[in-house]
Chains A and B, each alone.
Chain A
Amino acid sequence: MTDRATAAPQSQSSGEPSAAAATPAPTFTMLGAPDAVACEGDACLLPVR
């Protein structure tokens, strides 16, 4: 179990995540608690704290 997933800051925003081809990453403003549980790789059931 991991406790985070990050969004990498990039130079511009496409504003359209569902585009057929990958578009440049936006600078996400992260909302919510930073320590919410998430799955990362096969580690989503492992204790992290």
Chain B
Amino acid sequence: MTDTQNRAVKVDIWSDIACPWCFIGKRKFEDAVARYGGPVEVEYHSFELSPDTPVDFEGDEVQFLADHKGMPADQVRGMLDNVTGIAAEVGLQYDFGKLRHTNTVKAHELLHFAKANGLQREMKERLLAAYFEEGRHLGRIDELVDLATEVGLDADAARAALDDGRFEPDVRADQAQAQAFGITGVPFFVLEGKYGISGAQAPEMFLQALQQVGAEVSA
């Protein structure tokens, strides 16, 4: 490790559970962090792409997009196949056939609960895999509690937090901050509060940014 990599680079990441590029971008960012080698402090923030989506949407992802965009189902399937292929390139096994389209606000509340208990990154990874690879229903509290226990969170405490919505203000605060920052799409990475990176960049791009900012913070 060089002298320029002593101090952790703080990276705030806005993303949604229901964002295919966020999971792909997460893998590419993690690739860059591994290659960077220096300390990186990551904090995830909530961003709801489609807050009006009901918890129990009847239909699959193809139907949602076809209805929502007025596009032929075959064209939608082609797009999903394309994303699935890109996900596979970074080791993710997306299954849009099983995906349960739902409202993600409770999943975001769970991420804040996990952060309060020191397990936010583990929870984020578990939720993204559950949504895109396993077809789990992330709008339902029972399902979320099951996933919470898988990463080591207390089931009763998680359920109580989701039932009373005590972390919803934290979700709204993240969204308000995103709006104040002018963030309109995700994933969006903020390095040291002053550098912005939009989208699922190539690992080399993330690495270059980490090296640049790491050198600055350690100077």
Contact = CB atoms under 8 A, between A and B. Distances in A.
Interface in A1-49: 1-10, 13-42, 44-47
Contacts, number: 156
B198 A1 contact: no
A22 B183 contact: no
B113 interface: no
A28 B196 contact: yes
Interface stretch (B12-20, B133-141, B145-153, B156-164): B12-20
Interface in B164-194: 170, 173, 176-177, 179-188, 190-194
A18 B43 contact: yes
B205 interface: yes
Given A7-B181, A17-B45, A45-B20, A30 B197 contact: yes
Contacts of A9: 182
A15, A30, A37, A39: residue with the most chain B Cβ atoms closer than 10 Å: A39
A13 B177 CA distance: 12
Nearest to B11: A17
Given A13-B194, A17-B190, A30-B196, A40 B185 contact: yes
B195 to A, nearest CB: 5
Nearest to B173: A20
B197 A31 contact: yes
B215 interface: no
B49 A7 contact: no
Nearest to A47: B79
Interface in B26-70: 43, 45, 49-50, 65, 68-69
Contacts of A14: 193
25 contacts: A1-B83, A5-B184, A6-B182, A6-B183, A9-B182, A13-B193, A17-B45, A18-B45, A23-B180, A25-B180, A27-B194, A28-B196, A30-B195, A30-B198, A32-B199, A33-B201, A33-B205, A39-B19, A39-B20, A39-B22, A39-B187, A40-B49, A40-B186, A41-B50, A44-B185
Q: 9 closest A-B pairs (Cβ-Cβ)? A: A8-B182, A36-B199, A5-B185, A28-B196, A22-B176, A40-B185, A38-B199, A15-B193, A38-B185
